[in-house]
């Protein structure tokens, strides 16, 4: 079955099972909504009795197949820093002063605060650099970038037995790592699976990878590897429930009732998921289901046997 745990920072109460390391702070927003501002050098560790809610899978007690989604925002991306001076370089100080290199902010660690093979293995599974690029397990993708001052969804879909981790930003494919392209990464080791006790966000043993603030609204952990076609839909679904405009999602009306246009968007997404030749309910039936479930796409999909 599909276990899911959500940690919600949009109420004024700290979610169960969250430990704030160093300083982080609740900020109130319009309509009485909140988010958590994680300051520089601060991090979170999360647990929610995962042992009961989400059992280990693919053998053992750990979550070896999972989907992790996080809704976050950078007011400002990490600042670039001066480039180190090369040995024996006779560049003028003025020229040297102009050379900068990007720095990173650790976003997701899982359980890897410190690892014995520190040199071989990057300590944060996911980090964002000064250009908004996402680094996953040390591999960077510059095609999809994080924009400052905008809420984004970052989703990881991992299968440690298959040795693959794929990231998505706002439902769009970003960096991926696998055993073939990165043989040095032990993707089937404990470092890439989720511990039932605790996992970490925003932490790094290197303080230079923590010197920037990050805002976070929600984190979802599913005990299964979600199908790729569902990722954009999941993000659309989260946004449909959110009174704030974020990403490319249609905002819901106050009170939670989604506007007609939003139902039409969701209807098209559901229709796109039917393989050629698969019998699908009529548009009228699907729209009626969407309205009945108040725009909850996941419920509609499970009702018609697609989820």
Q: What pLDDT shows up at residue 30?
A: 52
Segment 6-46, tens digit of pLDDT: 888 887 777 777 877 766 665 655 555 688 888 888 888 88
Strands 43-46 and 104-110: unpaired
Residue range(s) occupied by CATH 2.60.120.200 in the chain: 4-226
CA distance 10 to 90: 53
Q: Is the separation of the CB atoms in 13 and 32 below 8 Å?
A: no
Residues of the chain with pLDDT under 50: 1, 115-116, 118-122, 242-258
CA distance 154 to 172: 9
Which CATH number among 3.90.220.20, 2.60.40.10, 2.60.120.200, 3.20.20.20 corresponds to the domain 4-226?
Answer: 2.60.120.200
CA 179 vs CA 137, 160, 176: distances in Å:
11, 10, 11
Q: What pLDDT shows up at residue 307?
A: 54
Segment 204-242, tens digit of pLDDT: 877 788 889 999 988 888 888 888 878 877 777 666 554
Q: What pLDDT shows up at residue 25?
A: 64
């Amino acid at each position: 079955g599909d276990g899911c745990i959500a940690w919600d920072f949009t109420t004024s109460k700290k979610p169960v099972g969250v430990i704030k390391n160093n300083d982080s702070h609740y900020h109130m927003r319009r309509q009485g909504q909140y988010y958590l501002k994680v300051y520089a050098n601060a991090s979170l560790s999360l647990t929610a009795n995962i042992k009961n809610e989400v059992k280990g899978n693919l053998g053992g007690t750990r979550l070896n197949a999972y989907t992790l989604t996080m809704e976050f925002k950078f007011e400002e991306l990490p600042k670039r820093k001066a480039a180190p001076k090369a040995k024996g370089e006779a560049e003028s100080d003025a020229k040297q002063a102009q050379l900068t290199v990007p720095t990173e902010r650790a976003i997701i660690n899982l359980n890897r605060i410190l690892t014995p093979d520190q040199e071989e293995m990057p300590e944060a599974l996911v980090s964002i650099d000064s250009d908004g690029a996402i680094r996953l397990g040390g591999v960077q993708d510059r095609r999809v970038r994080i924009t400052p001052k905008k809420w984004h969804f970052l989703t990881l879909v991992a299968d440690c037995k298959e040795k693959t981790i794929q990231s998505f930003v706002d439902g769009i494919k970003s960096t991926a790592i696998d055993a073939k392209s990165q043989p040095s990464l032990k993707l089937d080791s404990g470092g890439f699976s989720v511990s039932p006790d605790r996992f970490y966000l925003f932490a790094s043993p290197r303080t230079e990878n923590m010197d920037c603030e990050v805002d976070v609204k929600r984190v979802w952990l599913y005990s299964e590897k979600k199908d790729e076609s569902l990722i954009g839909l999941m993000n659309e679904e989260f946004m449909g429930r959110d009174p704030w405009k974020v990403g490319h999602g249609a905002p819901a009306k106050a009170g939670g009732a989604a506007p007609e246009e939003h139902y039409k968007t969701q209807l098209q997404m559901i229709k796109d998921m039917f393989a050629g030749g698969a019998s699908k309910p009529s548009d009228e039936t699907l729209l009626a289901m969407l309205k009945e479930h108040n725009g909850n796409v996941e419920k509609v999909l499970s009702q018609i046997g697609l989820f």
